[in-house]
Structure 1
Amino acid sequence: MLKHPILAPLFCGGAILQAAKPVTIFGWGPSGALVHVSLGNQAHETVIPASGKWQVGFDAFPYRLKTQLTMQSGDTQVTEDVQFGDVYLLAGQSNIEYKMRDDAEFKEEQANFSAQNIRVYYTPQVEYEKELTFGWGDVVKPAWAPLTKQNLGDVSAVGYYALNKIAHTTPDIPIGMLQCYKGGTSASSWISEAALVADDALAKAYIDPYHRAIDGKTQADFDQADQAYNTVLDAYNTKKAAYIQAHPELSLEAVKAHVGHTPWPPPMRPESYLRPNGLFHTMVEKTAPYTVKAMVWYQGENDADHAALYEKLLTRLIIQWRSTFQQSSLPVYLVQLPQYQDEPHHAWAMIRQAQVTVSRQLEDIHLVSLVDTGEHHNIHPVHKRTAGSRLGSLILSQGRTPSVAAVSRAGDKITVTIDPATRLEDRGGAPVEGLLDGKWVPLQSTLHGNRLVITDTGHVRKIRYAYRNAPTPAYFNEDGYPLSPFLLNISEVE
């Protein structure tokens, strides 16, 4: 039996609840117990089911309301102060996890800190549970806390720059930063096994290798593999530290261009957080169905080895998270990967293409292209302000960055219509290329408002733009947002 009969950790510490939407309150307790929940002037009760996870729904409350949430079961009663505003779910891997303390502008931002209405919640990174539980076990009990100058370094840098922009635009609305991420993870770690095995290609790429890595192995086998990996990792870290000491003037990107990248991934173990579907159970299902205004998903780096499958993987993830959070039309701000050179040929270009496709195929997906940012040899760019500020602006406008909306062909002329844009600017980057006789060659193109007109295409059957791991983008819309890279099969266009 749980020590606390109505454990509801996401509602502790002065939680921000989502305003103007029906809101769900949930927690965990012993099966069969009756739970009474009151929120403001509404009250409901429920019997805890066999799973141990209970939930009750409430009608929408207005913005800025401050009230109390009371949960009672038997002789136990818990009352928490809550307030209503906008809650944003930040999820993904290391670049959304990247802490403010590591940002290039952290000291300046900390010195000028002025955010007054942001509260933060950090989902504990529970990597493995022998038996799944709905509490947090022995980890530090999480709670909402105000964002301050003192704890600024602990939060997501991209998340801070985005939500600080929103907070200063709407200073009277409380903002909640709900952080649920883990570096180095594939999207396959964040969705259920059922969602993976439902597709043969995904099962072959993610489920089968996991079982090949662990089935029939002993504890000694796993320990030996870990020891070998740690030896390689220690040697790399020693080499990198020596190079940094000898060349203190170099950036981390320049250092890694000389010494290489951190060995990754570590050997697979049954309890590894890198296992498929693991974090879906230990983190996502413990955070959902918290009611939020929008979700930010920044991930894809760790799926470069299976870039051709990312469209399927991402589609399933968004659909499943919307279902798990019980918000079928939850807006998703999909952060597209920035520049990074050191991956398999065109792997990041393929991931970006998948992100564009998903943003077009599913409703209410807002693409946030960062192709004009990044570092060629550092997978974790140290400047996060542009990414965060752009994300914040697009959340405020409920907009997205430009991508291909339509393609038409008339003779030797191809017209590519870009949206959102009323006009495009050429800043002199990568040209449009066409596949001709097995080779990619530059094509003549001109801008007409929001249209890219490509002439003398002849026998070209495919065209592409900035379709590289680390391209130099040429085209931007009137808001200064970069056109997302594309690869188009012109033979299918009439």
Structure 2
Amino acid sequence: MLKPASLFTDGAVLCRRKEIRVFGDVSEGLTVTVRLLSREGTLLGEGSARAEGTRFLVSLPPQEAQAGCRLVIQAGDEQAEADDVAIGEVFLAGGQSNMELELRNADEGPEIIRQYDDPLLRFFNVPKQSVQGPAQQKAVAETRWQAVSPGTGGVNSAVAYFFAAMLRERIPEIPVGIIGCYWGGTSVTCWMEEDVLRTEPEGVRYLEEYEALTAGKSMETWQEEENLFQETFGAWCSKVDEYKQSHPGAPWADIEAACGFVPWNPPAGPGSPYRPAGLAVTMVREIVPVTLTGILFYQGEEDTGKTDHYDTLLTLLIRTWRKLFRDEALPFLFVQLPMWVDQNGIDTFRWPLLRKAQAAVRDAVPGTGMICLLDQGEYGNIHPTAKRPVGERLAELAGIMLYGAGEVSPRALDLTPQGDTLSIRLSAPVQFRGETAALLEIAGADGSYVPARAEIRGDRLLLRADSIRQPVHARYAWTDYAAQVPFFGENNLPLEPFDF
């Protein structure tokens, strides 16, 4: 038996300039040899390793970007081959629904799908399976890389597509591969295994709360409840699809008015994709330890109401994934949550708290970067369909972190009290857009915030309020949602929210 992981089949994209790891299953005890050949048939690299149990892992030396290669994998009398293999940049795209949102459902998506054609931009989407077993194994075994070509790829992540398309435009000689590993509605804790979560009190709390919620529910009972939920939810989704076809561009409020509110009440249980530690086993484990250029991550919505310590959990995820993918400095690029509040909902102030936690991770964990989407939220719609700005801002961030040039949002660096004024030093000058400098607040030692007036002076914001004689605190955009944000950098990217 020789079964290389599906990542190493026809059309695979391997990571350039790093050790290339090839893995899969084989008969116990056999030695596996892997050869990588160029388009011309020249041997680029070769490696061998004896299987540990029925699992093999072979390392090949780093290679430069190219295409048309071939992998030859041998064990005993068996041989497996992969043709049309490319070597370039490989990014893991992870998270929840805003990373999952498919290109066919994004602005510009349908038109792009009809026209795009780039054989060196390829996607591998890890099957969304929440339960280990034959169905999951079959889905994983059948998954293949898919190159971008007209009429295909509508189910790929829109964010990841726009990110990759910009990279391909800027570095056309380098192939780009995206490994999609995401599931809408998931907590950050879904993507770490139980032993990892138990190393942090907040991880333990998530595990214990979910265990209490399921109350010993059997897999059979959960499956019955899940089938009923999928039937109800599927019918609603079909109704929404029909409405969208007959009402192109309809706002979310009209869709809900016509189709009813989302019947989102998935049952808890031992097979739920929303259980802590679940997808870490059924999805992430299937692609470990593939060699990566970096990770793209868009997640956090599910945890806004569940934790005051998202920074602890996100830091744990970064540390864990870097260990799994065998790269302590693996670049981790993530998305700060945009503005959002549910239609007719009240401000919970949970979203700014999570945004602050995300920024804290960026500031504290080396090799991480964050993009700001403060100007991209939609009232009443937690899934904005404008995904080009998200993907392209991630590509700009990658430009800074990996390629030496790119544009990111200005951010506040520090605060200095100056009598009745607070001076906020920024990473770059900003411009004011709007009628009033909304969303800026200052407070004295008592922590009671009031709206502030702002004066822009070079790379500083000077904040004052008549009722605060000795201000010591300042914050910007401390709200779940605002229709407009007033400050942008000279590069047209929004000023990051801050809280000092």
Equivalent in the alignment of 2:473: 462
Equivalent in the alignment of 2:32: 35
Percent of pairs identical after alignment? 30
- Three-state SS of the structure 1 residue aligned to 2:485 is coil
State the TM-score, normalizing by the size of structure 1: 0.88
Shift of 1:261: 4.4
Equivalent in the alignment of 2:199: 198
How many residue pairs get aligned? The number is: 479
Change (3 A) 1:331 1:257: farther
Q: Is 1:5–2:7 an aligned residue pair?
A: no
- Three-state SS of the structure 2 residue aligned to 1:95 is helix
Which of 406, 426, 433 is residue 427 of structure 1 equivalent to? 433
Shift of 1:113: 2.4
Q: Is 1:217–2:217 an aligned residue pair?
A: yes
Quick one: distance in 2 between partners of 1:114 and 1:89? 22
Equivalent in the alignment of 1:124: 127
Does the 8 Å CA contact 1:18/1:293 hold for their aligned counterparts?
yes
Equivalent in the alignment of 1:72: 74
Equivalent in the alignment of 1:26: 23
Change (3 A) 1:356 1:332: same
Does the 8 Å CA contact 1:103/1:157 hold for their aligned counterparts?
yes
Shift of 1:30: 3.2
Equivalent in the alignment of 2:11: 14
User: What is the identity, as a one-letter code, of the residue corresponding to 1:327?
Assistant: D
Gaps of 5+ in 1: 489-494
Does the 8 Å CA contact 2:410/2:495 hold for their aligned counterparts?
yes
Equivalent in the alignment of 2:449: 440
User: What is the identity, as a one-letter code, of the residue corresponding to 2:418?
Assistant: A
Change (3 A) 1:202 1:27: same
Equivalent in the alignment of 1:56: 58
Over aligned residue pairs, what C-alpha RMSD do you find? 3.0
State the TM-score, normalizing by the size of structure 2: 0.87
Q: Is 1:83–2:86 an aligned residue pair?
A: yes
Change (3 A) 1:478 1:211: same
User: What is the identity, as a one-letter code, of the residue corresponding to 1:74?
Assistant: G
Shift of 1:140: 5.6
Shift of 1:129: 1.0
Shift of 1:221: 5.5
**Residue correspondence of structure 1 range 286-325 to structure 2 within 5 A:** 286-325=286-325
User: What is the identity, as a one-letter code, of the residue corresponding to 1:424?
Assistant: V
1:352-407 CA-to-partner distances (Å, cap 9, x unmatched) read 11111101101121111111012111111122122222222332343543322222
Change (3 A) 1:161 1:36: same
- Three-state SS of the structure 2 residue aligned to 1:323 is helix
Does the 8 Å CA contact 1:6/1:71 hold for their aligned counterparts?
no
Quick one: distance in 1 between partners of 2:148 and 2:245? 35
Does the 8 Å CA contact 1:13/1:145 hold for their aligned counterparts?
no
Equivalent in the alignment of 2:397: 394
Q: Is 1:359–2:362 an aligned residue pair?
A: yes
Shift of 1:415: 2.1
Shift of 1:109: 2.2
Shift of 1:481: 1.2
Quick one: distance in 2 between partners of 1:241 and 1:112? 23
Change (3 A) 1:224 1:149: closer
Does the 8 Å CA contact 1:95/1:298 hold for their aligned counterparts?
yes
**Residue correspondence of structure 1 range 138-149 to structure 2 within 5 A:** 141-149=142-150
Which of 100, 103, 107 is residue 100 of structure 1 equivalent to? 103
Change (3 A) 1:170 1:249: closer
Equivalent in the alignment of 1:165: 166
Which of 17, 39, 49 is residue 46 of structure 1 equivalent to? 49
Q: Is 1:267–2:267 an aligned residue pair?
A: yes
